[in-house]
Amino acid sequence: MVSSLHHRLVRRGLAALACCSFTVSCVADDELPAQDEDDGAPGGAVADELADVSVPEPAVGDRGEQVARAYAYLKQYGYFPNPELERLPGWKPVVEREPEDPQVFDEALEEAVASFQEAHGLVVDGTLNAETQRLMSAPRCGFPDHYAQPRPLKGPAQYAPSGQKWGDHQVLYRFRNFSPDLSQDDIRGAVAEAFARWSAVTDLLFYEDSDADIEISFGAGNHGDNWPFDGQGSVLAHAWPPGSGIGGDIHFDEAETWALGGGTGVIDLRSVALHEIGHALGLDHSDDTEAVMYAFYQDPKPNLRHDDVLGIQSIYGERLTLSWSAWGPIPGKHCIQVAEYADPYAWDDNYFCSDKDIGAQWSMSGPIPGMRCTQIVEPADPDTWNDNYLCVPVNSKWFFNWRYDGPDRGNRCVQWHEFADPHTWDDNFLCSLYLPF
Ligand SMILES: [Zn+2]
Ligand SMILES: [Zn+2]
Q: What is the CATH number of the domain that holds 278?
A: 3.40.390.10
393 and 294 in one domain? no
- Asked whether residue 155 is domain-assigned, the answer is no
Give residue 52's pLDDT: 40
Starting from the CA of residue 224, give the closest ligand: 2
Q: Which ligand is closest to the CA of 217, given by its number?
A: 2
Pick from 257, 281, 316: which residue ends a domain? Answer: 316
Are 293 and 360 contained in the same domain? no
**Which residues of the chain fall below pLDDT 70?**
1-55, 149-157, 410-411, 434-437
Choosing from 276, 340, 378, 418, the catalytic residue is: 276
Query: Do both 216 and 327 map to the same domain?
Result: no
Q: 91 C-alpha to center of ligand 2: Å?
A: 16
CA of 391 to the centre of ligand 2 (A): 47
Last residue of a domain, one of 316, 333, 364: 316
Question: Ligand 2 mean position to 72 CA, how many Å?
Answer: 19
| CATH code for position 41 | 1.10.101.10
- Considering the domain boundaries, does residue 147 fall inside one? no
Residues with CB under 5 Å of ion ligand 1 are 141, 143
* Conformational region of residue 394, where left means phi above 0, alpha means psi within -120 to 50, and beta covers everything else: alpha
Task: Tell how far the Cα of 388 is from the centroid of ligand 2, in angstroms.
Answer: 52
Distance 164 CA to ligand 2 centre (A): 18
Evaluate whether residue 160 is within a structural domain.
no
428 plus 394 within the same structural domain: yes
Quote the domain boundaries for residue 373: 322-434
Both 132 and 261 in one domain: the answer is: no
Asked whether residue 355 falls in the same domain as residue 396, the answer is yes
- Cα(432)–Cα(413) distance, rounded to whole angstroms? 6
Q: Domain for residue 20, yes or no? A: yes
Number of domains in the chain: 3
Within a domain: 372: yes
Residues 223 and 305 in one domain: yes
Shared domain check, 9 and 130: yes
Q: What residues are neighbours of ligand 2 (ion), with CB under 5 Å? A: 225, 227, 251
Judgement on whether residues 271 and 347 belong to the same structural domain of the protein: no
pLDDT of residue 151: 59
In the reported structure, the alpha carbon of residue 204 is separated from the centroid of ligand 2 by a whole-number distance in angstroms of 24
Cα–Cα separations (whole angstroms), residue 69 to 72, 98, 135: 5, 14, 14
Over the stretch 139-154, which tens digit does the pLDDT of each residue have? Answer: 999 999 988 766 555 5
**Ligand number nearest to the C-alpha of 221:** 2
Q: Is residue 306 part of a domain?
A: yes
**Residue 149 belongs to a domain:** no
312 and 197 in a single domain? The answer is yes
Q: Say what the pLDDT of residue 346 is.
A: 81
Assess whether 184 and 120 both reside in one domain: no
Q: Is 276 a catalytic residue?
A: yes
Name, in order, each residue with C-beta under 8 angstroms of 351's C-beta and a sequence gap of 6 or more.
Answer: 324, 325, 328, 329, 330, 335, 336, 337, 338
Check residue 49 and give its pLDDT: 41
* Length of the chain counted residue by residue: 437
Specify which residues 352 forms β-bridges with.
324, 336
In a domain, 281, yes or no: yes
What is residue 85's DSSP assignment? G
Shared domain for 194 and 298, answered yes or no, is: yes
Q: 240 and 213 in contact (C-beta within 8 Å)? A: no
Nearest to 187 by CA among 105, 101, 254, 97: 254
Distance 397 CA to ligand 2 centre (A): 36
- Domain boundary (270, 297, 316) is at 316
Q: Which pLDDT belongs to residue 21?
A: 37
